[in-house]
Each structure stands twice: as C-alpha cells, then as structure tokens.
Chain A
Amino acid sequence: MSTTFDASVTGVIAPEETDGTSFPTTSPAPDGAVTPVAPLVRHRQIALWLSLGWIGIVVFFVVFAGLLPIPRYDAIIEGLKPRAAPHLGFPELLGTDTLGRSVASRLIYGARQSLTIGVASTALAMLAGLTIGSLAGYFRGPIDAAVSVLLDAILSIPGLLLLLAIAAVGQRNIPTIVVGLAILGVPTFARLARATTLSLVDREHVMAAKAMGARHHRIILRELLPDVVLRILSYAFFFLAAIIVVEASLSFLRLGIPPPQPSWGAMINDGRPDLQTHPYLVFIPAACIVFTVAAFTVIGDWLRRRFDAVSFGAAG
C-alpha cells in the first residue's frame, strides 16, 4: 500500500490474491503492496518479538501518559532554551522543540494521537469494508455493481483532495480525520472481503447452510464472516502502518489535528528549517514513525503467514 499522499491510501495486493483463485471480475485489488517486511526464517522470531516489544512500549506510554511525571505538551519549559539538544540529565531527556516545549512529552502525546487515529480509522474502515464487501460478494448482481461503482468512485478521487475537503468541512478534530481516513481505506477492505467471500461461497459448510434453508444474514454472519475476518486481519495491520504515515503527512501539510496537539508529522515539519543545525528535531519523531510502522508491518506479515497458510503457498 502506498503510504503517503503521493498515492492514495487505498489498497493492498496481498500476494495471495494474485494466484487467480479469488479474482473479482472488475479490477483486482488496487494499488500497491505495503511491503510487509518479512524477516527471514531465523530472524523472523527476533523481528516479531522486537516489534511486539516496541508496540508494547508505545501502548504503555499512550495509556499511562497522564500518570507519568512529564510536563504538559503545550507548556514552554522554563529555564531551557528552545531547540535544546537531547541530553542524559533530567528533566528533558529528549530536549525541547522549536517553541521550547518538551520533546519527550510531545512524542508521547503524539503517539497517543497517531495510535488513536490509526486504530479508530482501521477499525472503521474494516467494519465498513467488511460489510459492503461481503454483501457484494454474497449477493452479487445489482448490489455488486452498485458497490463497485462506489468503490471505484472513492478510489478515483485523489486522496489528499478528499481529506482536504473533509477536513475543511468538518471540524479539525479526531472524529473527522478518522472518518476521512477510513473512507480512503474502505475500498481495499471491501475488495478483499468481497474476494474472500466469493472464494468461500462455494464451500461445503456454506452450501450446507443454504440447503438447510438458513436465512441470508445467518449465513453471512455465521459461516462466512469469521473466515473473512481472519483473512483480512493481516491487512488491517498493514493499513494501520500506512495510516500512521498518512497521518504524519497530513500533519506535515497542516491538515491534521490543530496545534498545540502534538503529532509526529507536525514535529517533523516544525523541525524542518533547522535540519542542518538541529537535526535531532527531525530525526527523533521520524525514528518513532519508522519503528512503529515497521513494527505493525512485521506483525501483519506474521498474521498473514499464520492465517493465510492455505493460499500463501510457497511465497517467500
């Protein structure tokens, strides 16, 4: 999946899609693959544990931010100049930003923002995409055609434009941004759900349920969805990884949550003019983004191996 605005956040071709078994008649799942970094046999375990560890640390800080002895993220630290370098003494381990606020505090609250937006929009996109996709895959016909039009419409709007417009219309707060990002993610979740539904619809247990006269919603909910969810769960992590980058890009373009709410992308943008003199202002938040995205990608890749073993075959 393309992870920036230079291509919309729209799609993933999970490799197993491409062996022809589950292809929809309209275009294949669009857009690029988030290169799920697949650490290789001996290193995979290490990478997985590292990733889980990093995510664990991030989640810890996000959850307990309020209890930690860190200054407020919008307060200017008395006694320290702005753009102070990280140093090993307290109080400011990671230095101050361009206005003199605590970098450590802003990193932590920025993580809270990134993760909240990421998880919420992923969940929303997955929910909406699952619903639309499996309905389209199950019922076919005009529902399928209508869904196809809708998905193509979303995909052909430049992502940034859509977010710009949504950000301008709604208020600049988390729900608006979550909705905007979720909309961008719906097409791929929907396509995946549809493709998986199509491939499962001929399975025996579904046929059996139909033969026994089960109602549609029962079939969908009981027989199809659990499998579909498992299959696309790995993609959810790839999407999450990409959303974190997209959110950073949004903040970079000043379209994200307004200040003083910190965001890793905004921190990078703030530090940009000082890149030559104070490079840490850019590299510290950039490193956070890289580690977090890589971690989610590794986890997603592990999930894919685990639950898609059937169609995964011998790929890598």
Chain B
Amino acid sequence: MPRLIARRLAHIVLVLLVVSFALTFLVNLTPGDPAYSILGEQATDEQVAQVHKDLHLDDSVPSRYGRWLSDIGEGNFGTSYVTKRPVMDAITEALPATAELVLLTILLSLAVAIPIGVYTAYRPDSRFDRFWVLVSSLFVSLPSFVVALVLVYIFALLLQNFPIHFPVTGWERLTDSPGENLWYITLPVIALSLQQIPQFARLLRADMIATLHEDYILAARSKGVSTRRILFRHALRPSSFSLVTLAGLNLGHLIGGAVIIETLFALPGIGSLTVNSVLSKDIAVVQGVVMLVAIVYVVVNTLVDVTYGYLDPRVRVRKA
C-alpha cells in the first residue's frame, strides 16, 4: 500500500510540474506585452521598461518559472499583474460561481439521466427509448452556445412578461440571497446539463442492460422481487461505476472553465477569469488558475480510482 501511495504521489507531482511548466512556457510565447494591459495604450517606453523590471518580464522563462516555483513553495501564489491583488484572492472570488454551476449541473444531470437510463434499459426499443435516442442525439450535436441562445430566447425573452421567467444575465452570491442566486443560475445550469444528460443516460443504459442479463437478477425476479426493487436496488448499484467515474471526470473538467456559458450569462467564474488573463497576458493569474484546475482534476481522478477500486473487487484483483 505505501508503495502505491508513493507512486501515486510522485505521479501527481510530476503531472503538476509538467502542466505548470508547459503553460508558463506557452503563455509566455503568446504575442502581446502585459505591460500594455497595465499601462494602457499610451504608455511611454520608460514606463514599459519600468514594468518589465518590476515584474521580471525580461528574465528567461525557466528562471521566471523557477522563481514562481519557489514562491509556491512558500505558499505564495503570486500577484496579478493587472489588478495587483494576490492571485489566490482572484481565484477564491471566482471559484464559488464556477463550483456552484458545475456541481448543480452534475447533480441535475444525474437526477435526470438516472431515471431515463434505468427506464430505457428496462424497456429497450420502446417508443420512449426511440424518442429519447432522437432527442439526446440532438442535444449532443448542438454546441453549447446554441443551446444557451435558444434557452435565453425562450425563457428569458419570450416569457419576460410572465410571472415566472428567468433573468438573462447576472449573478447574486449564494450567501447574500439564495433565492436570487438560484434564479440566475437556472438557465446556465440547464444549458450545461443538456450536454451531460445524454452521455450519462447512454452509459447507464448500456451498463444496466448488461447487468440485467446477469444470473442474480434472474434469481431475484424468480423469487418475486418487485421490478422497482430489482432495478434500483439490485441492478443500479453495480451498473453505476462508470457513470460515477464519468460524472467525477466531467466535474473535474467543467471546473476548468465553462467559458462560453460564463461569458454569455455574465457569471463571474473561473472560465472568464482564465480567458481574460490569457488575453491580457496576466501570466501570474494564468499560472495560478492552471495549477488550481490541475490539482482539482488530479484529486478527483485519484478519488475516483480509489473509490472504484474499493467498489469493484474485480479491478482490485486484476492488478495488471
């Protein structure tokens, strides 16, 4: 066990190093001078030189990376070039919106996909199954911005004079006003969920169909156990491993930035933060965000692996 943990840790550290160095290198290569993001269009050459000196922008990439690493070692994630605030502050401010968006998306998607997956596994080739196949293929083929557009059009614009309608854009903190917060996040969550649900449902359906053919299901049925019990008690759990895996992985990825949705709905999240920082060459913030996202991904990955190994004895045994 300890050897496994050590290997895992080494793996994680290496991944984080590779990611942070690659991004630092890449973003440094992008054209554009962060000094102009700070100083504006009419900066003089002396001002630009001064900023370069202050921020060590003329040093080589490896040396700047090394400096950043040692800062990280002390727990200092750097200071934004543009806003001059600690990067950690910018991230912790942007995180709640994205976290809430992503969590609610995954939860809603699971809540809708599981019943659909179970039912279509139970009754494959039924009318509902065929209908669902059409509908889900439509959602999967639509880019997220189109989905968002249509949602805004229907629910915010067409229905604007109805008592129940949604705001087009905006954000209110959860702590300030939970009710408002949920209003604002409804359309974005729906837009994102419409892409997750087909994936989840499809995966669950496939697994459940396989499970439903197993002998112990047959045994339970012959014992007279109710259909509902069979589906949800006996069949669902063993079929849900990959679903859980997928949900976890998608969660990790969505944290990386649901950029389009955040921009369209004006949500102050990690996605907008990332894009704006790359465009203004605020390398400090980019490095911080990339590290955060990488850590989240790696942690989620590890958790999923561990849980999977714990849940499914077959994997534990097959130590390939």
A contact residues vs B (CB 8 Å cutoff): 1-8, 10-11, 13, 15, 17-20, 23-28, 30-41, 43, 145, 148-150, 152-153, 155-162, 164-166, 168-169, 198, 241, 245, 248-249, 252-253, 265, 268-269, 272, 275-276, 282, 286, 289-291, 293-294, 297, 313-316
- B contact residues, range: 35 or more
B contact residues vs A (CB 8 Å cutoff): 7, 11, 14-15, 18-19, 22-23, 26-27, 29-32, 124-125, 129-130, 133-134, 136-138, 140-146, 149, 153, 157, 192, 195-196, 198-203, 205-207, 209-210, 213, 241-242, 245-246, 249-250, 252-254, 256-261, 271, 274-275, 278-279, 286, 289-290, 293-294, 297-298, 301, 304-305, 308, 312, 314-315, 318-320
Query: Which residue of the partner chain, among B138, B203, B314, B318, contacts A15 with CB atoms under 8 Å?
Result: B203
- In the assembled complex, the CB of A80 is this many whole angstroms from the nearest CB of chain B, namely 26
Are B257's CB and A158's CB within 8 A? Answer: yes
Which 3 A/B pairs are nearest by Cβ-Cβ distance? A158-B256, A37-B137, A168-B30
- The interface residues of chain A lying within 8 Å CB-to-CB of B26 are 162, 165-166, 169
Query: Which residue of the partner chain, among B30, B294, B308, contacts A28 with CB atoms under 8 Å?
Result: B308
- The interface residues of chain B lying within 8 Å CB-to-CB of A241 are 141
Are B31's CB and A6's CB within 8 A? Answer: no
- The interface residues of chain A lying within 8 Å CB-to-CB of B250 are 2, 7, 31-32
**A252 CA to B199 CA in the complex, in Å?**
23
Are B140's CB and A35's CB within 8 A? Answer: yes
- The interface residues of chain A lying within 8 Å CB-to-CB of B290 are 157-158, 161
Are A34's CB and B199's CB within 8 A? Answer: yes
Are A145's CB and B11's CB within 8 A? Answer: yes
- Chain A CB count within 10 A is highest, among B22, B143, B157, B203, for B143
Query: Which residue of the partner chain, among A32, A157, A275, A294, contacts B141 with CB atoms under 8 Å?
Result: A294
- The interface residues of chain A lying within 8 Å CB-to-CB of B205 are 316
Are A161's CB and B18's CB within 8 A? Answer: no
Are B249's CB and A11's CB within 8 A? Answer: yes
Main secondary structure of the interface of B (DSSP, over half): helix
**A33 CA to B249 CA in the complex, in Å?**
11
**A30 CA to B125 CA in the complex, in Å?**
28
**A18 CA to B15 CA in the complex, in Å?**
25
Are B145's CB and A249's CB within 8 A? Answer: yes
- In the assembled complex, the CB of A25 is this many whole angstroms from the nearest CB of chain B, namely 6
Are B304's CB and A27's CB within 8 A? Answer: yes
- The interface residues of chain B lying within 8 Å CB-to-CB of A157 are 19, 22-23, 256, 290, 293-294
Given known contacts A13-B203, A145-B11, A166-B26, A35 and B293 CB-to-CB distance under 8 angstroms = no
Query: Which residue of the partner chain, among B138, B149, B245, B289, contacts A290 with CB atoms under 8 Å?
Result: B138
Are A161's CB and B129's CB within 8 A? Answer: no
Are B241's CB and A18's CB within 8 A? Answer: yes
**A80 CA to B303 CA in the complex, in Å?**
60
Please list 10 pairs of residues, one from A and one from B, whose beta carbons are closer than 8 Å in the complex, sorted by A's number: A4-B143, A7-B258, A18-B242, A27-B304, A31-B246, A35-B201, A158-B274, A169-B29, A253-B260, A294-B138
CB nearest to A298 among chain B residues: B137
- Chain B CB count within 10 A is highest, among A159, A165, A198, A248, for A165
CB nearest to A286 among chain B residues: B146
- The interface residues of chain B lying within 8 Å CB-to-CB of A34 are 140, 199
Given known contacts A2-B250, A6-B144, A35-B136, A158 and B298 CB-to-CB distance under 8 angstroms = no
Are A13's CB and B246's CB within 8 A? Answer: yes
Given known contacts A153-B19, A158-B274, A33 and B145 CB-to-CB distance under 8 angstroms = no
Are A316's CB and B124's CB within 8 A? Answer: yes
Are B207's CB and A18's CB within 8 A? Answer: yes
- The interface residues of chain A lying within 8 Å CB-to-CB of B241 are 18
Are A152's CB and B275's CB within 8 A? Answer: no
Are B305's CB and A27's CB within 8 A? Answer: yes
- The interface residues of chain B lying within 8 Å CB-to-CB of A252 are 143, 145, 260
**A45 CA to B124 CA in the complex, in Å?**
17
Query: Which residue of the partner chain, among B125, B260, B279, contacts A6 with CB atoms under 8 Å?
Result: B260
Are A15's CB and B320's CB within 8 A? Answer: no
- The interface residues of chain B lying within 8 Å CB-to-CB of A314 are 209-210, 213
Are B141's CB and A315's CB within 8 A? Answer: no
Are A5's CB and B144's CB within 8 A? Answer: yes
- The interface residues of chain B lying within 8 Å CB-to-CB of A169 are 26, 29-31
Are A315's CB and B30's CB within 8 A? Answer: no
- In the assembled complex, the CB of A39 is this many whole angstroms from the nearest CB of chain B, namely 6
Query: Which residue of the partner chain, among B143, B242, B289, contacts A245 with CB atoms under 8 Å?
Result: B143
**A131 CA to B200 CA in the complex, in Å?**
30
- The interface residues of chain A lying within 8 Å CB-to-CB of B314 are 20
CB nearest to A157 among chain B residues: B19
Given known contacts A34-B140, A149-B14, A5 and B320 CB-to-CB distance under 8 angstroms = no
CB nearest to A137 among chain B residues: B320
Are B293's CB and A158's CB within 8 A? Answer: yes
- The interface residues of chain B lying within 8 Å CB-to-CB of A30 are 249, 301
Besides A149-B15, A161-B274, A164-B278, 4 other A-B contacts (C-beta < 8 A)? A2-B199, A40-B129, A275-B153, A315-B209
- The interface residues of chain B lying within 8 Å CB-to-CB of A294 are 137-138, 141
- The interface residues of chain B lying within 8 Å CB-to-CB of A248 are 143
**A51 CA to B286 CA in the complex, in Å?**
42
- Chain B CB count within 10 A is highest, among A25, A158, A160, A241, for A158
- The interface residues of chain A lying within 8 Å CB-to-CB of B196 are 2, 32
- The interface residues of chain A lying within 8 Å CB-to-CB of B298 are 152, 156
Are A161's CB and B199's CB within 8 A? Answer: no
- The interface residues of chain B lying within 8 Å CB-to-CB of A164 are 275, 278-279
- In the assembled complex, the CB of B173 is this many whole angstroms from the nearest CB of chain A, namely 22
